[in-house]
Every structure is written in structure tokens, then in C-alpha cells.
């Protein structure tokens, strides 16, 4: 028993020892595996660390650079760039409203307005403050009666937040502006602005125009723009995010300075009546246009300067321009005043001098300058006195008279009478006409100048030239402005017109008697005024055509009909020129004596009535019939 028990204990002991041995082996193996794993990770981590270090360094450098740049930007924002950002901030909350200065008035010689400012309001929007662009556009479209396309365009502009100003209604009627503002639309406001109005549509050519911004672009508005314009003011205010003014900030206001006034030589009442007379005549004759000038004989002051021109639609208006100053034409027979006066003044002829005048003659025969001149009316060779030559407006007779002087002397007189240079009016765009130096005259130019061809002149030049005869032989420059008045009411008178002697007073008296005969017995009888003497000269010029001749390819001609004279002839007060451009060539009203002379008579009657002009006691106008020495009329 004991032996068996001992054997059993021995077996258990060996099993326990075997178990312990297995456990030890397992523990050893586990520990070995653990050590291997630790060694693996330790070696791996060291490799990763070697790989990550450059990356970490690079990241550190990048962050350092970014932080440095940020620091530099902050420094710049606080120093060099500070002013710009402050200005942007102020601009974002600041609104500047321009106050348009009132443009000065243009007045006539008696203080009556010719052009005056008209109060209007301009409605605008600041897109930055407009909360509903589409709604605003739709709301104002109904008031302004905008079509769908215009409404879309306005909405597009209002959506542009980079813009701070958009016009909604420029220079609108006060009631329209009030209706828009009454809607209370965010970002929509208005400012006062002056429009421009004329007291008569006939003044448009003389006064000129201003653009939508009130800048003179033609006529007197352009010439005297700086004086008339004034100085704009402005209101500067700060607004909140909804566009309303910040009450705590009073803003800044700069008041406007109104423009000065321009006092012209024009008489508004006479101008108005002359405009009507000229327009009526060009309409009656179906003419291209017409011009009339009324000039004070002694001072050169222009009381009226009328321009009428046919529009493309067949209507007539004064909107096209001041053709009396800016357009030059060959004057035709009115220029015979200069040719005959020059010869008489030089003592080459007198009114009784006679010439054998043919009905036609070829000059420079057999040369390249060969030219045939036909007289104003058909006749055989006839003995004519200077008086008859002038009264009946003989072209060939005038050529023969002018040839008593050499070319240089004739040219000198044309210059003395004011041709080839601009007048002292210095109207914007004024023409000097075309007058070549005498040394360059060739062929027909040495002939045709005597009866008004070969050079051109404006109506203003021709008026001043003939006025020298009325003024006792003294040329007086035309004048359009009497004085100016600045914003403080200080008046500055313009200088008197310059003068110079052209012909002697005796020659002027002789020419006056000849011009009086023209009206009483010659080509200008329709210019007569009852009970008052009138001196004048007719002119009918062919107009140069595009083909370089005085006839179209079809053989037709166009005419430039004129009459220039003064009244009363015995004691001249006013010189008046009338020209009708292209009257109907198929009628007898195409001539200066029939198209223009009657207009002179009507204007003369206006002057008599408005200015109470009375003839001297011995002046009773034309009396008796045509003198026998003049022969039959033509």
C-alpha cells in the first residue's frame, strides 16, 4: 500500500514538474516574441522619426514665413496703406451731391431775356444703397413711361454695386421728380439743376446751345461759357447701411456761385419780327433759307440777326446755325457798291463818266483764260454813264469801270471794306470768306470780282462793308455784345467798335445818291418806304455747282438773291441786309430785287414803328418818274 502510494506521489510530482517545464517554455517563448515585437517597433519608430524631421522643419519654416508676412501686412495696413483704407471706409459711407450752379441769362439791349435758366431736378440712384434694383426700376418706369428694354437696362445699372451713381431722370420736370421721390425708394435721391430756355425759337441760331451738362457748345453760349457757367457747389454727407444720413454728422456744404449775365446788342422785339418776316418769305418762295441783319449805322451794333433754313422734312427753323456769320457766298451784284466806290474815290470816274458797253464780250481771247461775260440784261452796244451802269446793274459796265484801277488797287479796296478777314464779332465758327491775294489773281478773277464773283463773303461782312457808305465812308466793325455782368452785379462794358476810313465822305455821298436811284428807279424799287428815302443795291448771284460750273449737268441754275441798303438815305440810322438762298428758280422771284428787296421794305417798316424813326423835313422819299438820262428800265 505504502509502495503504491509512493509510486502515485512520484507520478504526480513528475506531472507537476512537466507542467512547470511546459509553462516555463511557453513563458520563455512569449517573452522572446515580446522582445522581438519591441525591437521591431523601436527600430520602426526610429526610421519614421528620421523621415518626419525634414517635414517638420519645412512646416515650421512655412508657418514662420506666413506669420512674418501676416505681420508685415498688419504693419503696412497700420502705416503705408492706412490712408487708402481710411479713404475707402469714408467713401463707403460718404455721399457727395453736386449742386449745379445756375447759368447766367443772356439779355437783349433793353434787359429783356433771350436765354434764361429753367429750374429742373435730376433724379439719380446710388446702387450701393438700392435694396431692390428690379423693383426700383419697375417703379420709376411707370412714372417715366419707359419701355421694357429701358426698364431692364436701368435695373442692370442699379444692380452694379461697384457704381455709386446712376441717372434715373436727367433735368426732369419738377412734378415728375416729386412723383419719383414720393415713392421713398432706398438709394434714390435728386438734386436741383438748371435747364435752358429761349424766349423765341428764332434766337437759336444766334444764342447757340448748351449740352445736357450746361456746357456751351455753340454760338454765344460757347463764346461766353466761362462767364455764364458759374461755379458748382456740393453737399457731402455720411450715411448708414440703408443710405440714410447719419444725424450726428452735420456734413459739409459748398454753396454755388451763379453765372454772370450777358447783355447783347439785340433788340428782342425787332429780332422776333425780323425772324417772322424772313421765315414767311423763304416759305413763300420755297427757298433753301434766308438771312437778315439789322445794324446800327454809327455804332455797328446788331439789333437783329436772323437765320432760317429748310430742314430735311421740309419745315423751316433757326436751329441749323448762324449762317450770317459762318457761311460765305459769292455776293453777286451787291459787290458793285465796292467796285464803283473804289473807282470814284480814286478819281478814275465820276457818275457822269460814260462807257460804250456791249451786250456781251469775250475777255482774254485766245488764251486759256478766255471768258465770255454777258450783261445782266440783253442789249446791243450802248453808251452808259456810271450812274446808269450802277442803277441798272450792268455787269460789263462795272467791269469797264473797275478796269480804270489796277488789280492791286481793287484788291486793296476789298480789304479796306472788310473782306477776307473775320469781323470783330469773332463768332464761333465765323468764316473769313475767300479772297486770294491780288498777285495770284488770274484770268477771269481780274474781271469777275467787280460784279461779285471770284471771292466769297459772309452776310455780316457785306453788311459792314455797305454800312461804310452809310457812315460817311468810315468802316465800323459789327458788334454783338454791349456788356457783361458778373455774379456780384459788377458791369463791364465792351469796347466801342473799331473804325477806319475807307472812302471819303464826298464819295460816300455820291454812292448814297446812286444807291437811292437804285431804289427809286432801278432794280430795287420793291424796297421803297413811303415818305422816306432808301439807299440800296440788289444782287443776284448764280451759285457754284458740284461740277465746278454755275449750271447743273441738266443746265439748270440756283440763285443767291440779296438786297442791302440803309434808311433813311439822307440821314442813315440802320443798314439792313437780306439774302434769300436758292429761291424757286422757275419764277421771277429768284432775283435780288424781287426776292430780297420786299423783305427789306417790311423790316424797314418795323424799324420805323418800333424805334420811331422819322425822316428829315425835306425827305419825302422817291418822287417823279425815271430820269430820261437813265433811259428805259430793264
User: Bigger pLDDT: 524 or 625?
Assistant: 524
Query: Within 13 A of 67's CA, how many CA atoms are on the CB side?
Result: 6
Strands 106-107 and 261-264: parallel
Question: Residue 82 above 80 pLDDT?
Answer: no
Q: Tell me: the pLDDT tens digits for 356-409?
A: 999 999 988 888 888 888 898 889 999 999 999 999 999 999 999 999 999 999
Q: Tell me: the pLDDT tens digits for 299-348?
A: 999 999 999 999 999 999 998 899 999 999 999 999 999 999 999 999 99
Q: Tell me: the pLDDT tens digits for 220-261?
A: 999 999 999 888 777 676 665 555 555 555 567 777 788 899
Alpha-carbon gap, residue 632 to 634, rounded angstroms: 7
The 3 state secondary structure assigned to 522-533 is: CCCHHHCECCEC
Alpha-carbon gap, residue 81 to 393, rounded angstroms: 84
Lowest mean pLDDT among 184-188, 262-266, 325-329: 184-188
133, three cell numbers = 434694383
Alpha-carbon gap, residue 568 to 619, rounded angstroms: 8
Long-range contacts at 12-18 (CB < 8 A, ≥ 24 apart): none
Model pTM score: 0.80
Average pLDDT over residues 187-195: 84
Which runs of consecutive H residues, i.e. helices, occur in 96-249?
133-144, 148-158, 174-181, 204-207, 219-223, 225-229
Where is mean pLDDT largest: 22-26, 129-133, 537-541? 537-541
Question: Residue 624 above 70 pLDDT?
Answer: yes
Q: What is the DSSP letter of 327?
A: -
Amino acid 629: pLDDT:
84
Overall size of the chain counted in residues? 634
Question: Residue 3 above 50 pLDDT?
Answer: no
**How big is the CA angle at 338 (ends 332 and 341), to the nearest 5 degrees?**
140
Alpha-carbon gap, residue 239 to 570, rounded angstroms: 75
Amino acid at each position: 500500500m505504502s509502495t503504491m502510494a509512493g509510486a502515485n506521489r512520484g507520478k504526480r510530482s513528475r506531472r507537476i514538474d512537466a507542467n512547470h517545464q511546459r509553462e516555463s517554455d511557453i513563458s520563455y517563448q512569449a517573452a522572446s516574441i515580446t522582445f522581438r515585437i519591441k525591437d521591431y517597433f523601436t527600430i520602426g519608430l526610429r526610421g519614421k522619426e528620421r523621415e518626419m524631421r525634414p517635414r517638420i522643419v519645412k512646416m515650421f519654416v512655412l508657418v514662420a514665413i506666413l506669420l512674418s508676412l501676416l505681420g508685415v501686412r498688419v504693419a503696412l495696413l497700420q502705416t503705408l496703406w492706412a490712408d487708402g483704407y481710411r479713404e475707402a471706409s469714408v467713401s463707403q459711407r460718404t455721399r457727395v451731391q453736386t449742386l449745379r450752379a445756375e447759368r447766367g441769362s443772356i439779355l437783349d439791349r433793353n434787359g429783356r431775356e433771350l436765354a434764361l435758366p429753367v429750374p429742373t431736378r435730376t433724379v439719380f440712384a446710388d446702387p450701393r444703397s438700392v435694396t431692390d434694383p428690379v423693383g426700383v426700376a419697375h417703379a420709376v418706369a411707370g412714372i417715366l413711361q419707359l419701355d421694357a428694354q429701358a426698364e431692364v437696362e436701368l435695373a442692370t445699372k442699379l444692380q452694379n454695386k461697384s457704381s455709386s451713381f446712376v441717372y434715373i431722370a436727367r433735368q426732369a420736370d419738377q412734378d415728375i421728380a416729386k412723383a419719383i421721390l414720393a415713392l421713398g425708394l432706398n438709394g434714390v435721391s435728386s438734386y436741383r439743376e438748371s435747364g435752358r430756355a429761349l424766349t423765341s425759337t428764332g434766337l437759336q441760331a444766334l444764342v447757340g446751345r448748351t449740352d445736357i451738362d450746361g456746357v456751351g457748345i455753340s454760338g454765344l453760349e460757347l463764346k461766353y461759357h466761362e462767364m455764364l457757367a458759374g461755379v458748382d457747389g456740393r453737399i457731402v454727407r455720411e450715411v448708414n447701411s440703408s443710405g440714410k444720413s447719419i444725424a450726428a454728422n452735420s456734413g459739409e456744404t459748398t454753396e454755388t456761385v451763379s453765372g454772370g449775365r450777358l447783355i447783347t446788342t439785340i433788340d428782342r422785339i425787332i429780332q422776333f419780327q425780323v425772324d417772322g418776316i424772313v421765315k414767311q418769305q423763304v416759305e413763300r418762295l420755297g427757298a433753301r433759307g434766308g438771312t437778315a441783319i439789322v445794324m446800327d449805322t454809327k455804332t455797328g451794333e446788331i439789333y437783329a440777326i436772323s437765320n432760317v433754313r429748310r430742314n430735311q422734312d421740309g419745315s423751316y427753323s433757326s436751329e441749323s446755325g448762324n449762317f450770317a456769320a459762318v457761311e460765305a457766298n459769292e455776293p453777286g451784284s451787291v459787290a458793285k457798291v465796292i467796285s464803283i466806290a473804289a473807282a470814284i474815290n480814286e478819281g478814275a470816274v465820276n457818275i457822269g463818266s460814260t462807257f460804250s458797253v456791249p451786250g456781251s464780250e469775250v475777255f482774254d481771247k485766245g488764251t486759256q483764260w478766255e471768258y465770255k461775260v454777258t450783261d445782266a440784261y440783253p442789249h446791243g452796244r450802248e453808251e452808259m454813264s456810271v450812274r446808269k451802269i450802277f442803277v441798272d446793274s450792268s455787269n460789263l459796265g462795272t467791269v469797264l469801270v473797275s478796269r480804270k484801277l489796277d488789280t492791286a488797287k481793287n484788291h486793296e479796296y476789298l480789304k479796306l471794306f472788310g473782306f477776307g478777314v473775320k469781323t470783330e464779332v469773332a463768332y464761333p465758327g465765323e468764316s473769313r470768306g475767300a479772297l486770294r491775294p491780288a498777285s495770284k489773281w488770274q484770268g477771269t478773277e481780274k474781271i469777275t470780282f467787280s460784279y461779285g464773283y471770284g471771292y466769297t463773303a459772309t452776310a455780316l461782312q457785306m453788311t459792314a462793308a455797305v454800312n461804310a457808305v452809310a457812315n460817311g465812308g468810315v468802316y465800323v466793325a459789327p458788334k454783338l455784345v454791349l456788356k457783361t455782368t458778373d455774379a456780384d452785379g459788377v458791369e463791364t462794358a465792351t469796347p466801342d467798335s473799331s473804325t477806319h476810313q475807307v472812302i471819303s465822305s464826298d464819295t460816300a455821298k455820291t454812292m448814297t445818291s446812286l444807291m437811292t436811284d437804285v431804289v427809286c428807279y432801278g432794280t430795287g424799287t420793291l424796297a421803297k418806304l413811303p415818305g422816306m428815302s432808301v439807299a440800296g443795291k440788289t444782287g443776284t448771284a448764280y451759285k457754284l455747282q458740284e461740277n465746278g460750273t454755275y449750271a447743273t449737268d441738266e443746265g439748270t441754275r440756283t440763285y443767291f438773291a440779296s438786297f442791302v441798303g440803309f434808311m433813311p438815305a439822307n440821314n442813315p440810322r440802320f443798314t439792313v441786309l437780306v439774302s434769300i438762298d436758292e429761291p424757286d428758280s422757275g419764277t421771277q422771284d429768284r432775283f435780288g430785287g424781287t426776292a430780297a428787296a420786299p423783305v427789306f421794305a417790311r423790316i424797314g417798316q418795323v424799324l420805323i414803328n418800333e424805334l420811331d424813326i422819322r425822316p428829315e423835313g425835306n425827305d419825302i422819299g422817291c418822287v417823279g418818274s425815271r430820269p430820261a438820262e437813265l433811259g428805259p428800265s430793264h
